A and B are shown apart, each in its own frame.
Chain A
Amino acid sequence: MMSHYGVSPGFQQIMDEITSIGLDWHSEALIENSKKNKPFIAKSIKDIASPQQKKAESAIIISAGPSLYKNNILARIKDSGYQGTIVAIDGSYVRCLKAGLVPDYVLTLDPHPTRIVRWFGDPDFETNLAGDDYFSRQDLDIAFRNNSNEENRRNIELVNRHGKGQKLVICCSAPMNVVERTRAVGFDAYWWAPLVDRPDSPESLTRAMVKETKLPAMNTGGTVGTAAWVFALTALKIPRIAVVGMDLGYYKSDTGYQLTQTYGPLRDKVGEENLKDVFPEFSYPETDEVFYTDPTYYWYRCNILDLIAASKSTLYNCTGGGTLFGDGVVCVGIDEFCAGF
């Protein structure tokens, strides 16, 4: 059951469609990529050594929302001398390296055939860029927006320099160019399968992938940031886990509806005057700053709240903004978390 927060039935109906959209979009790629990746699967996440001492006590998951730079989060973590575990996602990895913060683990899962490799420095940059304006529109890392060949080249060098031996937590659905790129760099890869549905059903997609790859399966909540939280909780068994950069929404103060990806079809569906119904607003409890979300981010939000409830754990949200709060979520400043409040 999804955790809803005062949204209109129409909004909820749109959001519910995202599940089937994801299934339609990814099902084939998940099985196909699992088969292709099988020859490269040497170790699973069960082979990762348990973290020790401070690394076993707490973790910070670094997602890639705009709050990461707006709130200067990476510099604050680095300056604090934080000694716990750091898990970056693919979209925040380069930014971590630029900030002088080398994560203990990097997690990747999206099967997209041309986009995800860019986060690791794309050797086929120009080919993969053709006809795709995703990076120009995304708000995860603005340094990627100008699609600069020079920026990509610098990222290749940066990842080449730091990636060798870096623990990569890689989903069996990863596209071949991400597998090839990370193998070429020398990442230390630990594989897992995405737990997308009930594996006890004979028709289960999860079951099919596990059968193909012999890997343990981990829930993702539909997005890489949530998958990183599940990894820290279930595979590393770390009891205190914080997330940063997990906005799951837009800053109302500087992001108009027209800048969101689904503005056009939603406006056509409900009319300009009713747009507020499909972009529900939230005030972040720590600051009272207003954020709004769209069906996709709201879907992610519901998913992680449901998984937090199912795990009976507490998630410390140190994002400093966004829409992630509710039962099981404690909003706290990143400086306080790093100081071990």
Chain B
Amino acid sequence: MSELMKGNFEVKRKLAVTDADDGAADFKNEFKKKALESIGGSMVFVEREMLFWDGVENIDGE
């Protein structure tokens, strides 16, 4: 579209052009915001098997 509509003057105010991928990014950002608002009492969680780790002695002296 921008290739077809070329003007013969310079606009004072530059407009941001939206990429096609921005829809996905917008969804992720919006979902992230809403998810964060809703997850009270929450924590990062990646490890799915180990329940307890008492590893202080292993890392002393690091």
Contact = CB atoms under 8 A, between A and B. Distances in A.
B53 A210 contact: yes
A205 B53 contact: no
B9 interface: no
A233 B48 contact: no
A234 B50 CA distance: 11
Contacts of A235: 52
If over half of A's interface residues share one DSSP class (helix, strand or loop), that class is named, otherwise mixed; here it is helix
B55 interface: yes
B43 A264 contact: no
Given A21-B35, A211-B62, A266-B31, A221 B45 contact: yes
Contacts of B37: 134, 137, 261
B43 A26 contact: yes
A130 to B, nearest CB: 15
Contact of B42 (A14, A110, A205, A210): A110
A117 interface: no
B15 interface: no
Contacts of B32: 17, 21, 24
A235 B51 CA distance: 10
Contact of A218 (B28, B48, B51, B56): B51
Contacts of B34: 261-262, 264-265
Interface residues on A, range: 35 or more
B49 interface: yes
A2 B31 CA distance: 21
Interface string B28-46: 1011101111111111111
Nearest to A107: B41
B35 A196 contact: no
A213 B47 CA distance: 20
Contacts of A197: 44, 46-47
B52 A216 contact: yes
B59 interface: yes
A303 B59 CA distance: 27
B30 A264 contact: yes
Contacts of B49: 306, 310
A109 interface: yes
A255 B56 CA distance: 46
B54 interface: yes
A313 to B, nearest CB: 9
Contact of A2 (B27, B38, B48, B56): B48
Interface in A69-116: 89-91, 109-110, 112, 115-116
Interface of B: 27-28, 30-32, 34-56, 59, 62
Interface of A: 1-2, 14, 17-19, 21-27, 30, 46, 64, 89-91, 109-110, 112, 115-116, 134, 137-138, 140, 171, 173, 194-199, 205-207, 210-211, 214-225, 227, 230, 233-235, 260-262, 264-266, 268-269, 295-296, 303, 306-307, 310-311
Given A134-B37, A218-B53, 18 more contacts: A1-B48, A2-B48, A14-B31, A22-B45, A25-B36, A194-B43, A199-B55, A206-B47, A211-B59, A214-B56, A219-B51, A223-B43, A224-B43, A233-B51, A264-B30, A269-B27, A296-B39, A311-B51
- Top-10 shortest CB links A-B: A261-B38, A222-B45, A224-B41, A265-B30, A234-B52, A196-B44, A216-B54, A197-B46, A220-B43, A22-B44
